[in-house]
Structure 1
Amino acid sequence: MSFQDGGAQRRLEVDSDVEEEALANDYQEQVQYNEDEEGDFGMSPQDIQAQLQAAVTPLDRDANLEAKFASYDNYCSLFHYILNSEGPVDLELPSYYWAWDVIDEFIYQFNSFCSFRQRAALKNDNEEEITILRENPNTWGCYNVLNVLYSLIQKSQITEQLAAMKRGENGDAFAGEYGNRPLYKMLGYFSIVGLLRVHCLLGDFSLAVKTLDDIELNKKAMFARVMAAHFDTYYYVGFSYMMMRRYADAIRMFSHILVYVSRTKNFQKNAQYDTITKKTDQMYALIAICVAFQPTRLDDTIHSALREKYGEDLNRMQRGGPDSLSLFENLFKTACPRFIAPTPPDFDNPSVNVDPIDHHLRIFMDEVRNNMWSPTVKSYLKLYTTMDLKKLAGFLDVSPEQLRNWLLVNKQRSRQVRWSEGNLLEGDVVNSSDLDYAMQGDLIHISEAKVGRRLVDWYLRNLARTY
């Protein structure tokens, strides 16, 4: 299925008390739904309503392999019934919260199973489990999960509806026979957010962001009415931006949801509270990483919380050098998604299997090492307008050729795409550094980037005010 490019501008709205109060009321309604959903479907296990209930029931974390397989079979049966019946199925959507819960739990169990299978292959200490896993490579297979999500999107024609609404037209005119049914429309809509999550878990960050081409990122969007969906959307978009080295856009995404959380005080402590708290802590860790790479202006609330949580660690990360490596590594492992591999592991040769989290950590740490000496080099370059390459190499105790390569890489890294309007992958190439330079032979010509300098000065003033 192909995604259409949205032509209308996407603008993040300014927080307003009225909108936040409306969303808070929606969240209270969702809490009541979560508390009342037990027992809603009291029919026999063979009945489709029992499958609907099972689809939103979290699987126990310590469930055995048989339970994991049974849950997969239930999802296959349910989605086969919804997608492959002759015409739209005559089922009333319990709630759009339910539609999100189905997609969320489906992806969560897929993620958990892949992690379980990966650990089993790496440990290689349970022959019975390994035999079952080896003989069932398609159970919770990546292709099957993606096929379900794309099929729900295609059947509901939700991208056509969203694209029409962005053009100011009536989306129902493009919904078709299936898309006019709330069951298909809501499952298709939340499957788009689900695709964002799955593609990010698989490490395809640009495709993850592209899946939202037709969804407006604002608090009027349907995903914003469901607390968990609201958090997931901004977390995975922000993380994808960070991995694409678009730090300004990542900070914008994390800041948006964190400011919203700080201003919305009437969350109730329910089953989702711990999840939301954990996701909030992860986003603070990620925004600390982004600010260390690119000092920038933050909302006072976020800035205060960031200094309270990380304090001196944030200063050490911004100073760079070898001492900062462990800090970046620990924050990344704490805050990153539970990445998964697109294919089953090799059970016959456990040593060749690579943990997906370790794989993406290595990629991330390569970027950290590329930037590790940036603050030190900048501290020297700021003292000169012209400097000899060999002289600077002597200060840093590296060869001139190594320094030349590093300067070229760093200059390229300082130019990043920053979103202003249009689709989320679009943007203007800007210089994110407060210092610019050019090389002519063995001479380095240094100039100050005025806009970047002002942002850094503002940030440093805020740091001084904190202490």
Structure 2
Amino acid sequence: MDDDLQEETLVADYQEQVNYEADGADLDRIDTLGVGAPDLKAQLDAAAQPLEYQASIESKIASYDNYCSLFHYILNSEGPVDVEQPGLGFCWDLIDEFIYQFESFCRYRNRVARTSPTEEEAQVLRENPNVWGCYSVLNVLYSLIQRSQINEQLAAQKRGEDGNAVAGEYGSRPLYRMLGYFSIIGLLRVHCLLGDFSLALKTLDDIEMNKKAMFARVMAAHLNTYYYVGFSYMMLRRYADAVRMFSHILVYVSRTKNFQKGNQQFDAIAKKTEQMYALIAICVSFAPTRLDDTIHTALREKYGEKFARLQRGGPESLPVYKELFQSACPKFINPTPPDFDNPSLNIDPVDHHTDIFMDEVKNTLYNPTVKSYLKLYTTMDLKKLSSFLDVDPEKLRSWLLVNKQRSRQIRWSEGGLLEGETANSSELDYAIEGDLIHISEAKQGRRLVDWYLRNLARAY
């Protein structure tokens, strides 16, 4: 009941936020930022505005220079800069656009290096290797976090103490506090784009994943946080945690959809929602679990036969896995500039991570088929099962041992997002003793652990 009341409060807050954003949506766009205290508000407004999709390479480089000037002024002035108190949504837009331009430029540069390494654009990129560099972007985010003392403030609040006591001169200012906070969410996104999923989750150690978190008051921040946390869990093979994260935000979006109509971010919200439905379909195929009725119905409507093919497994499911993953994954980037002299060495990061993901899919390809056989028995001969599957018995033994280990996943309950307790994610448990497979329901599987460990020791 308390969760329902908190959810209603969050929905009401979102409705109020939508109304507020509608009143102040028309901000004047300026082309250059410049540096100077009198124009700081105008500089911030301009930095939060999206860069035109077809912007020239010169505009992209100029935008980077403008961001450098702006953040240098904010971070390195003699004292905290004085500016009219910004809103949460505005600070999120500033950090979000900064990271989006970084991501877009990295992908653009990689594409040019692979397809047109000798053209004029490539020459400009060669001469500016540090523009939108990974180090520069990370330096800005970490510097905003450090200057604002936001991690110290959040840690103090988790202990029930006053965060203002450790905020310092800069962290007590709303501009620094909110930029520092959303820089943490930004780091989650950047580390995920770079493929470091453990570090992505580690950055959120001091942020509590609940309805009272500051990010939950900005719809785009709320959506992105759960998307990147859920995706990181999925890539770390913590499918139950991924499903929980995706389910939370998808249910929330379904309850607020009436307020989203007319919102300038409506299309972005809809796209991100579609991505998470694809990802939750993948996770459920790996670790079957009960879903909220709203989500389950939506999955059936959106994917139908594709969802059924994922659940059946087998070779025919491979194209579906690849299609859903590539449509729903982040647009990964390389941490270093490409090699313009050797275009063939510049792989697409999305293709690279897709290959890694598909290796995992192939390791679990026959899970549904094997489980369908094991459910029929309490004890089964390994050679008999291998004849059903038409595979070598020793290859099947190795496969069963690997998947037995992978069925024991870490599940988060409290503390840092990387923490958790080991639990069996499968509805079946089995152990191999010699050539016999002993099968039981997962709830009764504890008595089989000794058998499993003995056999694992023999195998290695």
- Give the structure-2-normalised TM-score: 0.92
SS at match of 2:377: coil
Give the aligned partner of residue 347 of structure 1: 340
Cα offset, 1:32, TM superposition = 2.5
Q: 290, 294, 300: which is aligned to 1:307?
A: 300
Give the aligned partner of residue 152 of structure 2: 160
Give the aligned partner of residue 256 of structure 1: 248
Q: 41, 57, 62: which is aligned to 1:65?
A: 57
Give the aligned partner of residue 135 of structure 1: 127
1:114 and 2:92 correspond = no
**Counterparts of 2:18 and 2:410, CA distance in 1:** 35
Give the aligned partner of residue 9 of structure 2: 18
Deviates more, 1:384-393 or 1:302-311: 384-393
Q: 229, 235, 239: which is aligned to 1:237?
A: 229
1:65-464 aligned at under 5 Å gives the runs 65-264=57-256, 265-450=258-443
**Counterparts of 1:14 and 1:336, CA distance in 2:** 33
Given that 1:199 and 1:205 are in contact with CA atoms closer than 8 Å, whether structure 2 keeps it comes out as: yes
Residues 361-397 of structure 1, C-alpha deviation per residue, up to 9 Å, x if partnerless? 0111111111101111112222222222222222211
Give the aligned partner of residue 4 of structure 1: none
The count of corresponding residues between Structure 1 and Structure 2 is: 440
Cα offset, 1:44, TM superposition = 8.9
SS at match of 1:417: strand
Deviates more, 1:183-192 or 1:210-219: 210-219
SS at match of 1:105: helix
**Counterparts of 2:73 and 2:233, CA distance in 1:** 37
Cα offset, 1:49, TM superposition = 3.7
Report the aligned-residue RMSD: 2.0
**Counterparts of 1:43 and 1:357, CA distance in 2:** 33
Cα offset, 1:344, TM superposition = 0.9
Given that 1:28 and 1:268 are in contact with CA atoms closer than 8 Å, whether structure 2 keeps it comes out as: no
Cα offset, 1:354, TM superposition = 1.5
- Larger relative contact order (CA 8 Å, sep ≥ 6): 1
Given that 1:417 and 1:429 are in contact with CA atoms closer than 8 Å, whether structure 2 keeps it comes out as: yes
Cα offset, 1:245, TM superposition = 0.8
Read off the aligned partner of 2:391 and give its amino acid letter.
Answer: V
Residues 253-298 of structure 1, C-alpha deviation per residue, up to 9 Å, x if partnerless? 1111111111122223232110001001111111111111111111
Residues 377-426 of structure 1, C-alpha deviation per residue, up to 9 Å, x if partnerless? 11222222222222222221111121111111111111101112222111
Change in 2 beyond 3 A, CA 1:44/1:184: closer
Read off the aligned partner of 1:26 and give its amino acid letter.
Answer: Q
Read off the aligned partner of 1:317 and give its amino acid letter.
Answer: L
SS at match of 1:213: coil
Cα offset, 1:96, TM superposition = 2.3
**Counterparts of 1:13 and 1:372, CA distance in 2:** 39
Change in 2 beyond 3 A, CA 1:13/1:251: farther
SS at match of 1:16: helix
Given that 1:146 and 1:195 are in contact with CA atoms closer than 8 Å, whether structure 2 keeps it comes out as: yes
Change in 2 beyond 3 A, CA 1:20/1:44: closer
**Counterparts of 1:15 and 1:44, CA distance in 2:** 41
Deviates more, 1:61-70 or 1:399-408: 399-408
Deviates more, 1:18-27 or 1:309-318: 18-27
**Counterparts of 2:248 and 2:9, CA distance in 1:** 16
Cα offset, 1:119, TM superposition = 0.4
Question: Which segments of 5 or more consecutive residues in structure 2 lack a partner in the other structure?
Answer: 446-460
SS at match of 1:437: strand
SS at match of 1:61: coil
Give the aligned partner of residue 26 of structure 2: 36
SS at match of 2:49: coil
Cα offset, 1:28, TM superposition = 2.2
Deviates more, 1:22-31 or 1:219-228: 22-31
Cα offset, 1:36, TM superposition = 3.3
Question: Which segments of 5 or more consecutive residues in structure 1 lack a partner in the other structure?
Answer: 1-10, 453-467
SS at match of 2:439: strand
Change in 2 beyond 3 A, CA 1:12/1:159: farther
Cα offset, 1:92, TM superposition = 2.3
Given that 1:120 and 1:126 are in contact with CA atoms closer than 8 Å, whether structure 2 keeps it comes out as: no
Cα offset, 1:190, TM superposition = 0.6
**Counterparts of 1:196 and 1:30, CA distance in 2:** 25
Change in 2 beyond 3 A, CA 1:283/1:451: farther
Given that 1:42 and 1:50 are in contact with CA atoms closer than 8 Å, whether structure 2 keeps it comes out as: no
Read off the aligned partner of 1:328 and give its amino acid letter.
Answer: Y
Read off the aligned partner of 1:82 and give its amino acid letter.
Answer: I
